[in-house]
Chains A and B, each alone.
Chain A
Amino acid sequence: MASNGDDFTARLMDDMDPVLLDFVKTKVNSFIKWDLVRFFHENPHTADTVENIAKYAGRNVSAVEPELEDLVENGIMTKTQLNDTTIFTLATDDEMRSLVDKFILACEDRHFRVKAVYHIIRGMR
Chain B
Amino acid sequence: MDRVKTGITGLDDMLGGGFLPKTANLVEGAPGTGKTTLGMQFIYNGITQFNEPGIIITFEEFPKQYYYDAAAFGWDFQELEKKGLLKVIMTSPEVSKLGVESVGGLLSQHIQQMDARRIVVDSITHFGRLTQDPIELRSLEFNFINALKREELTCLLTRESPVLLGENTEDAGIGFIVDSYIVMRYVEIESAIRKALFVLKMRGSDHAKDIRQFDIVANGLEVQARFEGQEGILSGSPRRMADSFVKAFVKR
A-to-B contact residues, CB < 8 Å: 42-49, 52, 56, 80, 82-83, 85, 87, 89
B63: interface (CB < 8 Å): yes
> Judging by beta carbons under 8 Å apart, are A48 and B90 in contact?
yes
Are A82 and B102 closer than 8 Å at their CB atoms? yes
Decide if A80 touches B106 in the complex (CB within 8 Å).
yes
- Complex Cα distance, B96 from A45, in Å, reads 12
- Which interface residue of A45, A82, A87 has the most chain B CB atoms within 10 A? A45
**Cβ-closest chain A residue relative to B87:** A45
Q: Which residues of A contact B125 (CB under 8 A)?
A: none
Closest 9 CB pairs of A and B: A46-B90, A45-B89, A43-B63, A82-B98, A42-B64, A45-B87, A52-B92, A47-B91, A47-B106
Partner of A82, one of B87, B88, B95, B110: B95
Chain A facing B: main interface SS: mixed
- Most chain A C-beta atoms within 10 Å of own C-beta, residue among B62, B90, B94, B105: B90
Q: Give every chain B residue within 8 A of A43 (Cβ-Cβ).
A: 62-64, 88, 90
Instruction: Encode contact with A along B72-106: 1 for CB under 8 Å, 0 otherwise.
Output: 00000000010000011111101100110010011
User: How far apart are the CA atoms of A52 and B92 in the complex, in Å?
Assistant: 8
Which residues of chain B have a CB within 8 Å of any CB of chain A? 62-64, 81, 87-92, 94-95, 98-99, 102, 105-106, 110
In addition to A45-B89, A47-B90, A85-B98, 14 A-B residue pairs with Cβ atoms within 8 Å of each other are A44-B81, A45-B63, A45-B90, A47-B95, A48-B90, A48-B92, A56-B90, A82-B102, A82-B106, A83-B102, A87-B95, A87-B98, A87-B99, A89-B106
**Chain A contacts of B81 at CB under 8 A?**
44-45
Contacts of B88 in A (CB 8 A): 43, 45
- Give the distance in Å from the alpha carbon of A7 to the alpha carbon of B102 in the complex: 56
| B179–chain A nearest beta-carbon distance, Å | 27
The closest CB in chain B to the CB of A85 belongs to B98
Residues of A within 8 A of B102 (CB): 82-83
- Asked whether B64 lies within 8 Å of A85 as measured between CB atoms, the reply is no
Contact A48 B91 (CB under 8 A): yes
A85: contacting residue among B87, B89, B94, CB under 8 A: B94
C-alpha gap A89/B88 in the complex (Å): 13
**Contacts A45-B89, A47-B89; is A56 near B62 (CB within 8 Å)?**
yes
